[in-house]
Amino acid sequence: MTKLSVNINKLATLRNSRGGNIPDLLKATTDIQNFGADGITVHPRPDERHIRRKDVMNISRFIRTEFNIEGYPSPEFMELVKTVKPHQVTLVPDPPDALTSNAGWDTVTHFDFLKEIIADLKEHGIRTSIFVDTSAKFIEKAAEINTDRIELYTEPYAALFPKNPEKAVAPFVDAASLAHKLGLKINAGHDLNLDNLKFFNEKIPFLKEVSIGHALIADALYLGLEKTIAMYKEKLVK
């Protein structure tokens, strides 16, 4: 069964819009795990517009499944993750003002930079993943960088899925097969939801984990968090 990691950034956005501590991220972290999620994902950004550095430190104490921290590997980010030592760090190429992650790494151009970062994280016992698109050359270079995993950027799949599911998923099938051949494990995320997740999970070979935030939290407003997590987990049964 593919694992589900729930990104709680949107809960932090809601809390920050009013101040105070509603919703309570620590309670949400505990509840999400109790409701069956396999992990918690956070993506702290420099402006702290959702998850704050203090949140990351606090949440780490409530993790009993798996903790995944996403982010651009700035000196501040690296200091944070080396202090917290999550199970996994997912590197994304976001500029500081990015609204959301909207592209994978060019692992050719940034090869030396990423290789050094990956080596540093591994010295601290942290599993690594690099956010990439389906380009074969970028996946091949990711393997040379010595990352443990890649996370496939699935927005192009989600955009095309309503019109042509088979065409939408085809490049991701090829990318996952190549990654597996190169010794990489495969994660995926971005715009996966209750409509497109089951098809993606069934078609993608060797898929280990998906990270889902925006759609899942939005669904929870209508369905409740416990029911929503159960529904997403159901879609991940092979």
> pLDDT tens digits, residue range 115-128?
999 999 999 999 99
pLDDT single digits (tens) 20-77: 999 999 999 999 999 999 999 999 998 999 999 999 999 999 999 999 999 999 999 9
Active site residue 50: no
The one catalytic residue in 50, 66, 70, 209 is 70
The one catalytic residue in 43, 50, 151, 209 is 43
d(CA 222, CA 228): 9
The one catalytic residue in 50, 66, 151, 190 is 190
Burial of 141 (0-12, 13-18, 19+ CB in 10 A): buried
Which residue is associated with the tokens 């060019």?
Answer: 106
pLDDT level of residue 233 (50, 70, 90 thresholds): very high
Residue (of 229, 166, 228) closest to 202 by Cα position? 166
Predicted pLDDT at 94: 76
Predicted pLDDT at 77: 96
Active site residue 87: no
Residue (of 40, 44, 33, 46) closest to 71 by Cα position? 44
Predicted pLDDT at 99: 52
pLDDT single digits (tens) 63-111: 999 999 999 999 999 999 999 999 999 999 976 555 555 679 999 999 9
pLDDT, averaged across the chain: 95
Predicted pLDDT at 35: 98
Predicted pLDDT at 103: 78
Domains of the chain: residue spans and CATH? 3-235 (3.20.20.70)
pTM comes to: 0.95
Active site residue 70: yes
